[in-house]
Amino acid sequence: MAETTNIAKMAEKLSKELFAEFLWQKMGPTNINWPCEDQSSHKAITHPSDVVFYYEEPYTQARTYVNCDLKSYAKGSITASSIRSAIESLARALSCAEKSE
């Protein structure tokens, strides 16, 4: 558990520093699980969000949000199956995010 905590702390620090260079802002609460809006299809009760960043599109009047699951990207956890699983999890979370308050 301590290893996961350390990975999360490093990921938050790195993402904050990296995304700040692109003028991305952090918003909302961090490290939360929020209710799934499509539990029967997603077979989940909640979705995780470690941090949500946003940036203003430079050529349109739109704001883009980026939902990050930072703990999925530790060096030892990067395998083909774990990447696929992380992408599928993020896709389900994003489909719910469009419906969620």
**Banded model confidence at residue 62, pLDDT cuts 50, 70, 90:** very high
pLDDT higher than threshold 80 for residue 72:
no
pTM: predicted TM-score of the whole model, two decimal places: 0.68
Number of domains making up the chain: 1
Q: What is the pLDDT of residue 1?
A: 46
Mean pLDDT of 9-13: 72
For 45, the token pair is 């009760």
Confidence of residue 45 (pLDDT cuts 50, 70, 90): very high
Give the residue from 66, 70, 73 showing the smallest Cα distance to 27.
66
CA distance readout (Å), 51 to 1, 26, 60, 93 = 19, 7, 24, 13
pLDDT of the residue at 98: 84
- As a whole number, mean pLDDT of residues 40-44 equals 89
Q: Are 36 and 46 in contact (CB under 8 A)?
A: yes
**For residue 65, what pLDDT is reported?**
87
Q: What domain range includes position 49?
A: 2-97
Question: Tokens 């949000």 label which residue?
Answer: 65
